[in-house]
Amino acid sequence: MKSHYLAVETLGCRVNQYDSDSLVDELGRFGVQPVQTGIDPDIVVINTCSVTQKSDKKSRQSIRRAARKYPGALVVVTGCFADLEAEWIKTLDGVDIALGSQSSSDLPGLIIEVLNLEQSGKESLRPVAVRSDLKVQEGCDEFCSYCVVPFARGEPRSMPLTRIIKDAERFIDSGARELVLTGTHLGKYGSDNGDNLVDLIGGLFERFDEERLPRVRLSSLEQGEIGRDLLELMCGESRLCRHLHLPLQSGSSSVLKRMGRRYSGDEYVESAKAFAAEVPGVMLAADVIVGFPGETDEDFAQTVEVVKAAELSRLHVFKFSARTPTAASKMAGQLSQEVISARAEALSEIDMSLRRAHYRSALKRPLRVLVEEHDLETQVTSGMTDDYLRCEFPLNVGDLGETVDFQATTLGPGRGRELVLQ
């Protein structure tokens, strides 16, 4: 049997990463191996992103590079860019398969059919991270005026519970000890089949004991999707991480209205404070878009005010990017890149001050850390607390996937913009 080697480049979100990992696992059952040093792949997959103009550019570059570098390989393009730019992809030489994100589950079978692969009878040996993403939902129908994702990902669809449990078991058996529930719009889980997120989390805890699954984390939820039942579960079940990522996008109620968001700045602050009161120690994070069409200095000042009033601990700052065919791409009042960049820089500085405050609050208090990585070069072990604090300690403390007690005395720099407790 001919050996096949696979290379996958993944751009964009957690959902894309999950889809790429699932593809590797499925093809692994048919004898396809991840590419090794010194061997050219004969299957190359580019899992693309199209959420911003920059994402489009990266996707185009990656597709062209793969087609040019591996002329004899089966070159496959998938992801959101493949949905939205299918006609452009058709003009390229060297791309053999283009399949959008809405059909991503069909991709393994299509590759197997094209290459006439035979099942090897072996399970994939792909290493699994201690903290692994578990996709439970796909698609969104909100159509916020700036967002291209609903055009690419389609209507909300919940993963079947049997598939979720099967994937969770496979990840846990391979070493995962924290599962991050993720989806295009996680709060839509169950909207199409009558299930709900609280029951799903409870079902995971019933199926897997604390030794096998010490943690479940939620990726992102709208503030209006968080009910008392979820807060009570988070407060009463130590395995559910005290971490809520609440997309804000803007603190200006007039901008939020033009964005198609369903809350005001004041309502966001009220919700954030209520969550913090209900779940002591919860870490609140948010996405914010700067430079939305028509955003004034006063609108931006309101965003800063809301960020501070909500007592957030972390921000993900995005520059507005006009995306065809969204409504915002046609709006009057498009801002200059100079203004957008200045506002993004100002908000990023606020983000760093919020992060420092969050980390400093944890100094010299008992922490529970899930060990995620041993770095033999630096002789350092690292891991995360449930409220998303990165910690480092000596290499001989804790095995991978073990939860250890830790008390930090200093705060230092981490990777990129991250900080670390030591």
**Is the bond preceding residue 71 a cis peptide, omega within 30 degrees?**
no
- Do the bridges between strand 419-421 and strand 131-138 make them parallel or antiparallel, or are there none, so unpaired? unpaired
Instruction: Give the per-residue pLDDT at 193.
Output: 92
Query: Residue 49: what residue type?
Result: C
Instruction: Give the per-residue pLDDT at 1.
Output: 65
Instruction: Give the per-residue pLDDT at 314.
Output: 97
Contact 259, 146 (CB under 8 A): yes
Residue 144 has pLDDT above 90, yes or no: yes
Instruction: Give the per-residue pLDDT at 269.
Output: 98
Residue 378 has pLDDT above 80, yes or no: yes
Residue 376 has pLDDT above 90, yes or no: no
Q: How confident is the model at residue 372 (pLDDT cuts 50, 70, 90)?
A: very high
Query: Residue 191: what residue type?
Result: S
Instruction: Give the per-residue pLDDT at 124.
Output: 60
Using CA atoms, how far apart are residues 23 and 106, in angstroms rounded to an integer? 10
Domains recognised in the chain with CATH numbers: 4-115 (3.40.50.2300), 127-241 (3.30.750.210), 243-361 (3.30.750.200), 367-421 (no CATH)
Q: Which residue has the tokens 């967002």?
A: 147
- Do the bridges between strand 74-79 and strand 43-48 make them parallel or antiparallel, or are there none, so unpaired? parallel
45-100 confidence digits (pLDDT tens): 999 999 999 999 999 999 999 999 999 999 999 999 999 999 999 999 999 999 98
Residue 229 has pLDDT above 60, yes or no: yes
Using CA atoms, how far apart are residues 220 and 247, in angstroms rounded to an integer? 7
Contact 27, 112 (CB under 8 A): yes
Enter the pTM of the model. 0.93
- Whole-angstrom CA distances from 133 to 21, 330, 391 are 10, 35, 20
DSSP helix/strand/coil, 117: coil
- Whole-angstrom CA distances from 276 to 227, 307, 332, 352 are 13, 14, 38, 20
Residue 37 has pLDDT above 80, yes or no: no
- Whole-angstrom CA distances from 117 to 33, 78, 96, 107, 303 are 12, 20, 17, 13, 54
317-356 confidence digits (pLDDT tens): 999 999 999 999 999 999 999 999 999 999 999 999 999 9
What's the mean pLDDT in 383-408? 92
Q: How confident is the model at residue 103 (pLDDT cuts 50, 70, 90)?
A: confident
Rounded CA Rg of the chain = 22
Instruction: Give the per-residue pLDDT at 412.
Output: 87
Q: How confident is the model at residue 125 (pLDDT cuts 50, 70, 90)?
A: low
Instruction: Give the count of alpha carbons within 13 A of 417, CB side only.
Output: 13
What's the mean pLDDT in 233-256? 97
The size of the chain, in residues, is 422
